[in-house]
Amino acid sequence: MTRECMEFDVAIIGAGPSGLSTACRLMQKAKENKQSLNICVLEKGSEVGAHILSGAVFDTRALDELFPNWKAENAPVTTKVTQDHVFYFFNKKRAFKIPHLFLPKSMKNKDHYVISLGNLCRWLAEKAETLGVEIFPSFSAHELIIENNQVKGVITGDMGVASNGDKKSTFLPGVEIRAKYTVFAEGCRGHLGQQLIKKFDLDENQDPQHYALGFKELWEVSDQSKKIGQVMHSTGWPLSNTQTTGGGFMYHLSEREVVVGLVVDLNYTHPYLDPFEEFQQFKRHTIVQSVLKNGKRLSYGARAITKGGIQSLPKMIFPGGLLIGCDAGTLDSAKIKGSHTAMKSGMIAAECIFEALNQKKPDLTLSEYTQLFHKSWVYQSLYAHRNFTPLIHQFGILLGGAINYMNLLCNSKLIPWTLHEKIPDFKKLKMAQYVQPIIYPKPDSKITFDRLSSVFLSNTNHEEDQKCHLKLQQANIPIEANLPLYAEPAQRYCPAGVYEVVEQNDFTKKFVINAQNCIHCKTCDIKDPSQNIIWETPEGGGGPNYPNM
């Protein structure tokens, strides 16, 4: 069966905020100049928004620029932050509030909104299609097309391949998606983005990228009408018990909907730390539990977050395309926001690509992008907050947080030089023999839950008997190296119970991969201490199907 080929002016990989903003701005430019463009967006999820997960307190700055009349056009951005006055330091039983008056400007959320980012992406997709963009859900970009050292497009994943590699009766070969320019907007730790960074040395002279794992649950609770729009952030317990950095959040979406979550930095050192269980403990805190009690959990999800800042930001241009948004790492850690910066990075990409397409001799490397990006408010904000992550990593929650607090109060001028964090997250784990195992309480199935019931709420599914998308470079490493050295942390850092170590009848141990459970968070690709696990895109349409997340 021959492989079909489709050609476009621009192919965009990923229907998140950065990719969709790129598509919308390109078509706006084309219509303004009475030109025609052929643009496609590939989305590996079953629909736009299926794989989108974020807190999210949303800064509308980029949306204001992209669609100035978004309010009149019924954008799902309606719950304005009304009570942005709660920032806590938790210990196990108490909470110490930092008054809103004393919060740095970057940590305030005036004029921001509590939203479902998945629903915003669905709205952006509708706008893009109205403008003439073709969106292909359930198409996973699996392989790069590189010819003469230039990216020419991607090949989508084959469909209907059995776990043993045989072609099933439903087999369909992947499609060649060729384009004059290809924009990679896959989100954090993009499968092809990692290959591009390596192929074109995009991270040369940069710090290693750093990550966190974010958990989120959507709850239906008793009447909270007086708290609609309230935003709460916290740091400290339970992560402070193991000197792990990160923080919790709780956002009131409506009178009966509350979002609760925890972000765990993946530079943690304790091999027995279980981020999922830390999230369950966070919900036990009095302040959180008082809201959730007698409530009903509606949805669950988790995903990795790119948070290294400009010190870790790779070069975003290469021959034939761009790496944008969280695929590159444009999140602003000090503001705990990345959707608006991702959108703006895509809008700048659209401006450069449109100009290049109209040149007699197109600029294949889109060199103007770097200059425009550095002049933008995105870069200015990232530069001002460049020391936020290194300070937290090097000095911890208390001291690092205090220094950051003072620095932000001084408009980031207290520390004029740039700090660096040169050790990648996967190298931070201590050996298991030097620490005590952590014993977590059993779930009560009211506030706290187990992994499998949580994954069920993410609506995760993959086609049965498909080729495993979680690759071990060496099959013996989990049992022969990771288990004796680190108690095989994959059993714990995965938020979906994908990895298990099971004892067989002959008392030997076996490493089991339950790929069906995978919610595409990419944590295994990031945190495995041997860097032995490679996350690849599964068949299109697989993975979570997040509603209202």
Q: What contacts 496, CB < 8 A, 6 or more positions away?
A: 302, 451, 454, 455, 458, 460, 517, 518, 519, 521
pLDDT, position 395: 84
| Axis crossing angle, helix 339-357 with helix 368-375, rounded to the nearest 10 | 140
480-521 per-position pLDDT tens digit: 999 999 999 999 999 999 999 999 888 899 999 999 999 999
What is the set of domains in the chain, with CATH numbers? Answer: 5-68+118-208+310-384 (3.50.50.60), 388-423 (no CATH)
pTM of the model: 0.95
User: With bands split at pLDDT 50, 70 and 90, how would you rate the model's confidence at 108?
Assistant: confident
Backbone φ and ψ for 479, nearest 5 degrees, come out as -85, -40
DSSP 3-state percent helix, strand, coil across the chain (nearest 5)? 30, 25, 45
Give the helix ranges, DSSP H, for 77-173: 117-131
What pLDDT score was predicted for residue 1?
A: 64
- The count of other CB atoms within 10 Å of the CB of residue 204 is 9
Distance CA 13, CA 43 (A): 7
Q: Of 381, 322, 342, which is closest to residue 62 (Cα–Cα)?
A: 342
Extract the tokens encoding 537. Answer: 């895109």
Give the tens place of pLDDT for each residue, 15-57.
999 999 999 999 999 999 999 999 999 999 999 999 999 989 9
User: What's the pLDDT score for residue 85?
Assistant: 61
DSSP string, 192-208: HHHHHHHHTTTTTTSPP
Kindly report, residue by residue over 63-107, the tens digit of the pLDDT.
999 999 999 999 999 999 998 766 788 888 888 887 666 677 777
Angle, helices 401-409/388-395, rounded to nearest 10 degrees: 150
Task: Look at residue 162 and tell me whether its pLDDT is greater than 80.
Answer: yes
Residue 213 neighbours by CB under 8 Å, 6+ apart: 263, 264, 266, 275, 302, 303, 304, 305, 493, 495, 521, 523
Tens digits of residue pLDDT in 252-292: 999 999 999 999 999 999 999 999 999 999 999 999 999 99
